[in-house]
Amino acid sequence: MFDVMQASPAKAHRAAKLMLGPVAAVLLLVLTFVGASSGAADLPTKFDPSRDAAADISRATSLANAQGKRVLVDVGGEWCAWCHVLDRFVAANADVRAFVGAHFIWVKVNFSPENRNEAVLSRWPPINGYPHLFVLDGSGRLLHSQDTGELEAGNGYDKARFRAFLERWAGSPVPVGRT
C-alpha cells in the first residue's frame, strides 16, 4: 500500500488525485504545504475561533526566527469565500507554495463573530477586507500590511502580483540558527 506520510509531496499529490479525487488532492497539498514545508505542524491550517491567536503568532515568530524566515499572518474566517480562494490559489501553484515554504511561516488568525481576536489585531493597522495579510519579521515586528484585494484578478488571484508581493517581503534568507 502507498504510504502518503513517507512520500514526497509530488508523489503524495499524485496518489491523492488517483485515490481520493480533486478535492482531497487540494486538501492534501494544503496540509503538506502548511505542515511539511514550514515545520509548523502545530499552527492552524484553518481559521479556528477557539485558537489562541497570540500563542499561534508567537509560535510562528519563534519558528521564523529559528529558520531565518518571515511570518505571514493570514487574517480571515471560514465564512470568508475569498479566504478559501486564497487557499486554493496557493495549493494550485507549486511555485508559490515552494516560495512561501522557503521564506515564510504562514499562520491563520480567525476573525469572526465568535472570536474577533481584537487584542492581537489591534496592534496592527485596521483591516478593510478579508483575507488580509500581515508580514512580520522573526522578532514579531510588523513589516507590511497587505490588502489582498490588490492581488486579485477576476475570480482569483493574479499570480504575478502575488509573487511580486511575496518576493518583496521575503527578505534575505538567513542561515538557520542565526538572527
pLDDT in tens, 64-114: 999 999 999 999 999 999 999 999 999 999 999 999 999 999 999 999 999
Is 73 among the domain residues?
Answer: yes
Same-domain status, 60 and 93: yes
Is 118 among the domain residues?
Answer: yes
- In DSSP notation, 57-100 reads HHHHHHHHHHHT-EEEEEEE-TT-HHHHHHHHHHHH-HHHHHHH
Same-domain status, 30 and 63: no
Q: Are 101 and 35 in contact (CB under 8 A)?
A: no
Look at the pTM and tell me if it is higher than 0.95.
Answer: no
Same-domain status, 141 and 128: yes
CATH number at residue 98: 3.40.30.10
Same-domain status, 5 and 56: no
Split at pLDDT 50, 70, 90, the class of 45 is: very high
Q: Quote the domain boundaries for residue 164.
A: 40-169
